Every structure is written in C-alpha cells, then in structure tokens.
Structure 1
Amino acid sequence: MNYIFIFILLLPLKWVRKLFQKKQGRNLVIQTAKIGDFINITPLLAHLRQSDALLSRTVAPLAQHDDTLLKIWYVEDHKSGMLAKIRLALQLMNRYDNVYLLHPNNLNLFYAACCNAGNKQFLSNYRRKWYQTLFYWTANGIVEHSKISLTIESYLKLANRTLTKESYKKHATRPLFKNSLLPEELFRQDIIKIGISISAGNQAKTIPPVIWKKLFDHLQDLPCSYYIFGAPNEIGHLEELYRVTGKNRPFINLIGQLSLEMVPYAISQLDFYIASDSGNVYIADALDIPVVLLYGPCGIEEQRPLGDVLLIGPDHIAPSSFIFAAPYQFHHPAEQLYALDQRKLDDIHAFISDRQPERLCQTKPH
C-alpha cells in the first residue's frame, strides 16, 4: 500500500515531466524473478530485438552476455530505502516509449506505473490485489495470465497478442558464452553424460536422496555418468545423497566449481538433464538438451520445458505450486511428490536409451 501513496505524491511531477518527454523508441522489460523465469522471457527479448531491463542481480551473469539487452537495471541496487526506490522511478520515468511488465509485484507495478511511456503493457495474474487497480489504470494494455496459461506465451502477448510459444526460441545467453576453464570430464564422448540438480531454489522442491538412488539403480545398465550441478551452499545436499547412494557411483561433482555464466556452456556439453523445477532445467531446454523433469507439486500447464522433455509427475495429486504463488511447504511429503514407480522408471530408461543408440551399441559386448 505504501507504493500507492508514494505514486499519488509523484503524480504531479509525473504529469509535468511528461510534457518534456522525447520519443526514442526504447523498450523496458521488467522481470525481477530468478533464473528459470529469466530464461522464459528470452523469446520476448528476441522479439523486441533491443531492450533495457529491470532484473534481479541473481541473473546478472546470464543477462550480461545477452545481445538483446542494452542497459540493465538491478532491482537489488535500489532497495536500500524508499528514497533509493523513488530515485530509480524518476530515472525510469521519461526514458522509455514501451514498457513491458512481466512480474507484477507491488514494487514493479510502482516502477511501471511511474513511467511516462506511450505504450505500457502489464501482465495481470491470479495474485492481483484490489489496491493495485490504480497502477493498472496507467497501462495501455493488460494480458490476463491464469494458472493454466503458459508463461512464455503470456509474456510474448504483451508485445503482440498473436505470438505463440512457437514464434521465438528461448536462449540462455545470446550468443552462447563459452569458457575454456570447464572441467575436462565435460568433454568426454565415451559415456552418456547426465546433468542433475539435487537441490532447488525452493528447498521444498528438492528431490529426496532415496528417489535419486532408485533412479541410479534403474539406470545402472547404461554407461551413464552424473554431473552434479549446484551452488557452494548445496554441498550439504551432496553429503546427504552420498549417505544414501554411496560414493562408488559415476558421479562428477561440479557443486561450487562453476560460476553461473559458465553453466550454460557446461550444460551444452551434456546428453541429458534431470531435475525438479529448477533454473538449470530451463537452461538445458534452451540449449536443446533432452530433459527429464520431475515436476512434483508444480503446475506444468503454466511453465515447463518445451523441447525434448519427459514429464514425470505425482499420481493423483493436484498441483499446488505456481509461478506467482509458490509455497515453501506442501501437504504431501517430497517422497510422495517425487515418487518413481516401475512404469516411471521404465519411461526414463527408455527416454535415455532411445536417444543414445550409437553409444549403447559401442558399449555392448561383441
């Protein structure tokens, strides 16, 4: 509510400054969520060709290598107090002709409403509050997004209502940022290289070690090695995994060894990626790496990988986690949400083996 009052106080200044605005054709895209959400706005960025963006600093290592982005504002750099937020609002006010609001929380709505752009397109979702109506009155167009709307399409429709998920491809960085410091194990050609994420940003979406063990056991007849991705603070999850599976598995531990800007190129060297709903799944999908998504409580109609993907979900459990309403605890235990029965294990085995016939032939005894 505080942002409503500040916006009302700024209205006279906003109207006066609008008299002196010069059209320059600049675009501003506002999306301050995390890695997977950034990957899913890249089709819109590709459509717009050149844009500025207000993003989360979490995605800076990817955004700084994106040739569709010019000036990048990071929302965390302006959160030291209300004066800092007002200063950013004033900087944005007369700078843009087109504003696309993809992540409509209160702060982002405030920034978008303060802009004097002639074309402002706002996303509206199932978490919209009554008191945000004033901000939405400043928009020229609104795209209604539901729990069964595909986020990529909702984002694209902000720019053109006829665009669909087929209109533009996702990217992780554009062009792909290559780094010569990757571990040599990533370039092996004699094995099936499977990347895995054993944790997720939302810890409630972490796949339990007992589920991983069941999967590893079922795939043990395949020449697989598992490349474990993660931030340094995820080492505890690795220790839990080792306690259940043992260390005598074909594991390559990459936790804490790769900066985020190195991750897309590393994933591009893999044959598959397996994880719950996490940023790396969307990076892999953007790089055309086949994905096995154990989606657990997530609503996959709203957001999911769109390429070569095998979707594995819980039996008879309705989705309870959505893009704009993601709880940090669920009614069902993780062991049930991510359970793998024989049918699901067989589906994963077939998904992998069907895509690696040459490598499997090389490993069969003559």
Structure 2
Amino acid sequence: MNYVLLFLLLLPFKLLMKLSHKKEARNLVIQTAKIGDFVNITPLLAHLEKSDALLSRTVAPLAEHDSTLADIFYIEEHKSSTYSKLKLALKLMNRYENVYLLHPNNTNLFYAACCNASNKQFLSMYRRKWYQGIFYLTATGTVEHDKYSLTLENYLRLADRSLTKESYPKHATLPLLKPDNTPEEVFRTDKIKIGISISAGNQAKTIPPTIWKALFDRLSGLPCLFYVFGAPNELTRLHELNKVVGESDNIVNMIGKVSLEGLPYAISQMDFYIASDSGNIYIADSQNVPVILIYGPCCVEEQRPLGDVLLIGPNHIAPSSFVFHALYKFNHPVEQLYELDNRKLDDIYDFICARKRPLQEKKTSS
C-alpha cells in the first residue's frame, strides 16, 4: 500500500493516541542507508548521547557495538507486509519525544510522521516529492540539504543548528571493539601498511585493476604492503586484480578474514587507506587513518572523509552521483573516471612519503 494512504489511514488513531502521549526524553534517529552513511551519523549520535534508531540491517554489526544506541529497529524486518509496517508504526508512535529523520525516503518519512513526538526534525533534500508534503507537515523543523552541502554537518544541525563538522568526531564502534581473532598480519611494523578496497557496494564505483596497477607501480620504490579488505563475495575481484598486476608478496588478502564489527580495529592498524567512495574509506577516516579518496563521479562537497585526506578526482568531469541520487551507471568509462595520471600519482606518492612512520624490525604480534 502507498505510504501516503497508509498514513492517512492511521491519522485518526495517531491523533487519538497523541492525547495519551507521555513526554519522555527519548530520541529516535532514522537513517536506513549503508556503512559509510552510518559512520557519518555517529557525530549526531554522540551529541544525543543515547538514542534508539531505525537502521538497515547491513550496519547491524557496527550499530550493536555502539554505546550511544539503545533499542535498534531494522527496516528490512518491517517491509514484508502492510501488517508489519503498521505494527512498527504503532510501536514507534508514542515512544519518543525527539525524532531525527536523516534519510527522508517514503518509508522513513512515513514512520517519522507517525510519531507523536513534540520535536521532530526532518532533513529536506533535492529529491523531495510533492506528495511527501503531508509527511513534512508533521515536522516541527527542517534542515534544507542540497547537493553541495555536507551531509554530516546537516545531520548535526537537526539537533542543534549551531553544530558544525568540528563539533564531534566520527566513530565506527564505540568504544572501539578489538576482537581477539584480528589477523596477526595487520600488526606488522616493518612495512608501510596501506589498506585498499578494490570493490564498492555500488559496483559502478569500483576502481578497475589497471588503475590499481598504475598506483602499485608508482609506489614500488616504497616498502609497502597492500591489505585488500572486503566481503567474501569480492574474491573474484581480487582474482581479476591478480591477473593484471600478477601474484605479489606485497598484496595481503584480508577478504573474508575480518568481520564487519572487527573491521574498524583492523583498519585502525593501517598507515593509510585508499579506496573509492565506499564504506571502508569512512571507517578509516573515523579511526584517524590518513586516507586517499579516488572519488570518481561522486560529489565530495556533499560527502567525503574529513580527517587527513587526499582527494583525487577525475579531470574535467562534473560530479554526477550524489548521496540521495546515487547512479549505478555513468556516461564516462570507469577508466576515465578513476584515471591516475602522472600528476595524481605523484601527489599520492608525496602524500604517503610525508606521513610514513619510521619502520621497525618485522613483528607479527601486537
């Protein structure tokens, strides 16, 4: 059923329930996007101190190790039927005093609008539809977001208009989870450890193997180890990379060896992280690891790492992919979007040389 019709159906009951709403200082944060987006809401979570959240199950391993979160609802568990949607709406209706809507799609707008909270702050963005106006009528405040404003900062402003990107640091798990089964390879101190992601959730953002080869060749004069992080289904990408660059003892396969909840700690052991606009680059940024973002078609004014970062973009190609309007196919070939010419390769080399730590004798344990 259309969410607008469903909301209109619930509206009389919502108004009746409002009469019995008890004001409790409970927060609900609604953001059902993926890993990088979750990391970018953590400054808001830190500001609020303790909140419930409506999230995507994709981020469950991180969210369930976050001390700023109490009760967590996963959107995938409430989309199977009209009954399941109504059940969650009724559960949320009188539960909160403050609601913060960070990802305003139809589903999330519906749940936020159903809440009888006295303070409801909604993000309003460039893909807003006319019929969503009925949901926005229930908001007590909105923050206008455009393609060239920083998402993280506007998320914070939902809670306090004076907050900025410097107000709170990001985190991935809080406190940082340090699993006992972290692979020993990540603790080496005799090489420059560079984490990389050779694939992205949006496959159109995957850097092709020929680009990685150009990068490896430029850094060949440095004692680098390249740690390839990823989910088990990304092994085929590693095989494709090996076909281009050849088998090498300075490429360390971490694919499938580190759980998502353990990934922040493993990445925190890296000296650098290189990737396209994907979740791991934001995890690395949250751990204060210097990052090299090869951002391709993405708009870095809207979302980017905020720590020690080198931004590498395409030559003379305007951004075409945005946080709330992500494309899965682009007009330019990936080799052009992620091209590393000599100037860019030199910038990466210099960035690493300026920050590399003194190396020690080979060590295989922490």
TM-score range, shorter chain: over 0.9
Give the match for residue 191 of structure 2. 191
User: 1:61 is matched with which residue?
Assistant: 61
CA apart distance, 1:79: 1.3
The aligned residue for residue 287 of structure 1 is 287
- 1:244 matches 2:244: yes
Distance 1:357 1:268, change over 3 A: closer
Matches within 5 A, 1:91-240: 91-240=91-240
Alignment of 1:87 onto 2:90: no
Aligned to 1:320: 320
Deviations 1:35-84 (A, max 9, x none): 00000000000000010000000000000110000000111111111110
- Indicate if the aligned counterparts of 2:195 and 2:270 stay in contact, CA closer than 8 A: yes
Q: How do 1:22-37 residues align onto structure 2 when only pairs under 5 Å count? A: 22-37=22-37
Per-residue deviation, 1:248:
2.2
- For residue 350 of structure 2, what is the aligned residue in structure 1? 350
Contact preservation (8 Å) 2:183, 2:258: no
Aligned length: 362
Q: In the alignment, what sits opposite 1:306? A: 306
CA distance in 1: counterparts of 2:248 and 2:181, whole angstroms: 26
Residue aligning to 2:71 = 71
Q: Could you tell me how far 1:257 is from its partner in structure 2?
A: 1.3
Q: CA deviation at 1:131?
A: 0.4
SS of residue paired to 2:261: helix
Question: Which sections of structure 1, spanning at least 5 residues, go unmatched?
Answer: none
Check the 8 A contact 2:230/2:255 in 1, yes or no.
Answer: yes
1: CA distance, partners of 2:249 / 2:141:
54
* C-alpha displacement of 1:180: 1.2
Cα deviation, residue 249, structure 1: 4.2
SS at match of 1:281: helix
Runs of 4+ more than 4 Å apart: none
Whole-Å separation in 1 of the counterparts to 2:353 and 2:317: 29
Secondary structure of the residue that 1:260 maps to in structure 2?
Answer: coil
Q: Deviations over 1:127-173 (max 9, x none)?
A: 00000000000000010000001001110000011110011110011
Q: Which range moves more in the overlay, 82-91 or 245-254?
A: 245-254
Amino acid at match of 1:27: N
SS in 2 for 1:299: coil
SS in 1 for 2:172: coil
Corresponding residue number in structure 2 for 1:253:
253
Q: 1:6 to 1:357 in 2, by over 3 A?
A: closer
- 2:79–2:85 CA contact under 8 A, matched in 1: yes
Q: TM-score scaled to structure 1, two decimals? A: 0.97
Q: Does 1:16 align with 2:16?
A: yes
SS of corresponding position for 1:121: strand
Q: Equivalent residue for 1:275?
A: 275
Q: Distance in 2 between matches of 1:80 and 1:248?
A: 47
Task: Name the CA distance, whole Å, in 2 between partners of 1:120 and 1:356.
Answer: 46
Compute the displacement of 1:256 (Å). Answer: 1.1
Q: CA RMSD in A?
A: 1.3
